[in-house]
Each structure stands twice: as C-alpha cells, then as structure tokens.
Amino acid sequence: MNAGDLVSILKTIDGGDQKLRDLVNLHTVDALACLAAGAGAIEGSSLLAFYRETGAGNAISSAAGASAVIRFTEWDAIHVPSCATSGAMALPAALIFAQDYEAYVRAVAAGHAIGLALSEAVGGVSALPETWPGLFAAPAVAAVSAAIALGLSDEQIAQALVLSMAGSSGRHGRPSGMPSARWLVIGEATLKGIRAALAAKAGIMGDLELLSPGWMKGQAAAAVALEPNHVDPLAIEQMGMKPFVSARQGVNAIQAFRHLLEKGVDPNAVDSVEVFLPPVAAPVVSRRLVAEDRLSTIAHLGLQLGIAAFEPARLMDVGRARPFNAEVLAFAQRVTVTADDTLVGEGWPARVVVSAKGQTHEAVWPQTSGEGAQVMLDRKIGSLPATTAQRLQRLQATLAEAGTAAVQEASSLLLTFTDASLPRSEAA
C-alpha cells in the first residue's frame, strides 16, 4: 500500500457529515481544555516557553508546543488497542492552517485516521515498550492534518505523509527529569509533520513507496503490513476521552472504585482493595510509587484510588506539584493489582474488590451506566479557572454553528493558551 493509495481513502472523508462534525467539535474543545490545564502546570509552562523562545513565537511553534502540552497532560483522548493519541497532533496542526470549517473537519478526521492506521499497523499495545505507537504515527498525523487544512492536492498530501515519516521511529527510550523529553518528542514530531506539509507544498518530493511491508516490519517486532482495512475515515469515533488525569490502563479501576464510594463505602473503613486487570494493563499501574515523579503519581493505581477517596478534585490535577496528604499515601499501600486473563474486552476492563470492616464490596467496569463524553468534558472544563472555562463553553456554542468563525475562535484560543502561562486549575 503506497502513500497515494492511503490518501485516496482519506479523501472519502465528508466534511459536511453531521456526525463527524459533532465528533470533531467535541474533540476540539477537549484538546483545548487539556492544553489550558497543561499550560498551568510547571512542566507544561516550561515546554511552551521553550517553543516560544526557539520558534520566534510563530503559529507553527505554537502548534508544536500545544501538541507537547496536550499529550503531557495524560488527559487527552486515546484509542486503547492501538495506543493512538492523534488529537494532540491533528488538532493544533489543522487549527493553524484551516481557512474554513469543512476543511478543518476533514483535516482533523484524516489526521485521526492516519494516526490510528499507523499505530495499529506498528503493533499497537503489542509494540510497547520497544516502540511507542503514538509517537511513531505523530509526524504523519500532523503532516496529513496540515496538508489537508492547507488545501493541498492528493499528490502533495501523499508527499507530505512520506516526507514526515522518513527517518522517523517510535523509539524514545525512558527519558527522566523535568521537563521531560517524553513530551518534547511529541512537539518535535508535530513540528516535523507540519514542515513536511509545507515542503510538499513547495514541491519537494519523497518516496511514495516508503510505507512498504518491509519498512513497517523494521519499525517494531509486532508490526504488520499497512493495509487498506487499517484506514478508517471515521477513526475519530473510536477515540475514548479520559475522565481523569490517569494512565488509561487504570481508568476503569478508578471508575469502579468511585462507583463503590458513591454506593456508600467509607474510605476510612477500608482494610484492603484488590484490583484485577488484563495482563497487558497491570504492569503500568503497579510499578513502585515515587511520589516526587509526576508520571508515577499518574500511573500508580494505589495512589489514584487514594486520591479518589480523600482528594477527589486532584484526579483533575495535571501538574501534581503539591505533596499528597498522608491519608492518600497510606491508602495507596492497601491496594494490590493482579493480572487476570479472564478479563477480556476492549478498553482494559477492571474488577475492584474492597474489604471494609469484614464486608466485601465489588464492582466491574466498564458498565452500561458509564459517563458520556460530554459529562467528562464538562467536568474537565469545570476544573479550569472560570475565565478559561467560559471561553471554552463559548467555543462549544460557536463550533455548533459550523462556520469559519468557529475555526478562527478555536485557533485564537490555541494561540492564547500557548502564549503565556495560565492560572492553575482548581485541582492544582
């Protein structure tokens, strides 16, 4: 499957489809809410400052910084089986170039489609930790989104795609420290993708046969040939929004535990919590807790359940800069995580068993009473400073009108949120 074949599938995307428009609108506001939350955190602010200082403050550097910060939050939407987090790249790249609403919708949808396709073909969850599928696909997501937003021809879009992927890989090691290169590489991948689109516009040409079966297999042991069935024009429909700042592997367990708390379980009376997860999900959320390491506090499921029990607002705390209460840390010690291969189904289902004063309480998630996307988005917006929340709520209404003004307003918000540090969220 060469790049031209892939682009021919992307060109079937209908920017006038109402269902697609609603999804793009939802994810636009969600990504910008993540950006606003991340910009108020110390590390997010540092990343944005880097891109402002090294990118002359132009829109392209703003898009790169926005991508890095949206992904940094660990609150952005994800497609679980493929580990694709395409919105972080697609939305900023499309917003800085789209001149009308329909082109914007097509650009965002196409970016998600190529992101999911490449992330799946490189192996998805099975490629970890050797290759990070979301990083592998990131340059292509930005390139395709930017190219379509710019109104480039099919040939130029295909060239942008291969130019963006030449020399790329999803291997980033295990960077430590703060600010972390884990997020910088996302910004740099977005920057590369945007420049690939501009290079294609300028007539620079690459190898349209680059994405060959042999090349794909060289990217990860789990990779397979990229096939037409990997490319779904409605891929954005498969992206799941996150209700909390959390490793996606632990979200269902947090939801199950919160459900038990709502049913009357007293966290002060809890003797132990047993969490059962699919084997592929358990290792990430059961590593040793390092309270000073932000990513550790976001992944460690024991701490996350302690937060849910005693500091629930901090489930929306992106920065994790303040120390956690002693009762939260003590509760974390009472949580065990066990891999259970009987838990099957998409989305990494979880079973949580709580023992309290001799009684056992159990919940399994996901279940049919789970929260809708708009409920999750409203909670996210509600955790932000009032002025920021109002601007995002106003954007939701403007996007529903499906006009050029909506794209301009969303683009203006992206530039505002990346221009300077924002007030911290209520959770922080």
Q: How confident is the model at residue 424 (pLDDT cuts 50, 70, 90)?
A: low
Higher-pLDDT residue of 426, 413: 413
Residue 161 confidence (pLDDT) above 50: yes
User: Phi/psi class of residue 347: alpha, beta or left (left: φ > 0; alpha: ψ in -120 to 50)?
Assistant: left
Q: How far apart are CA 399 and CA 410, in angstroms?
A: 8
Average pLDDT (83-106) is 97
Supply φ then ψ for residue 223, to 5 degrees: -70, 150
The answer to whether residue 85 scores a pLDDT higher than 90 is: yes
Closest CA to 168 of 235, 122, 233: 122
Nearest CA-CA partner of 149 in 206, 212, 102, 98: 98
pLDDT band at 367 (very low <50, low <70, confident <90, very high): low
Provide, rounded to the nearest whole percent, the portion of the chain with pLDDT above 70.
96
| pLDDT greater than 80 at residue 420 | no
- By mean pLDDT, which of 74-88, 181-195, 253-267, 367-381 is the weakest? 367-381
- Greater confidence (394 vs 58) lies with 394
Residue pLDDT, tens place only, 394-410: 999 999 999 999 999 99
CB atoms near residue 212 (< 10 Å): 14
pTM of the shown model? 0.94
Give the number of other CB atoms < 10 A from CB of residue 288: 7
Residue 205 has pLDDT above 80, yes or no: yes
pLDDT of residue 323: 93
Q: What percent of the chain has pLDDT over 90?
A: 86
pLDDT value at 374 more than 90: yes
For the ranges 30-34, 310-314, 340-344, which has the lowest average pLDDT?
340-344
Residue 260 to residue 267: CA distance in whole angstroms: 10
Extract the tokens encoding 221.
């042991």
The pLDDT score that the predictor gives to residue 240 is 92
Identify any residues that bridge with 84 across adjacent strands, giving them in sequence order: 79
pLDDT class of 37 with cuts at 50, 70, 90? very high
Cis bond leading into 366, ω under 30°?
A: yes
Mean residue pLDDT of the chain comes to 93
Average pLDDT, stretch 234-244? 94
What confidence tens digit (pLDDT) does each residue in 97-141 have? 999 999 999 999 999 999 999 999 999 988 888 899 999 999 999
What is the Cα 155 distance to its own chain's centre? Answer: 29
User: Per mean pLDDT, which of 116-130, 163-177, 262-276, 362-376 is the most reliable?
Assistant: 262-276
Cis peptide before 129 (omega within 30 of 0): yes
Among the residue ranges 122-131, 182-191, 378-387, the one predicted with the least confidence is: 122-131
pLDDT of 369? 47
335-339 and 350-356 as β-strands: parallel, antiparallel, unpaired?
unpaired
Dist CA 303 CA 347 (whole Å): 21
Provide mean pLDDT across the span 223-251: 94
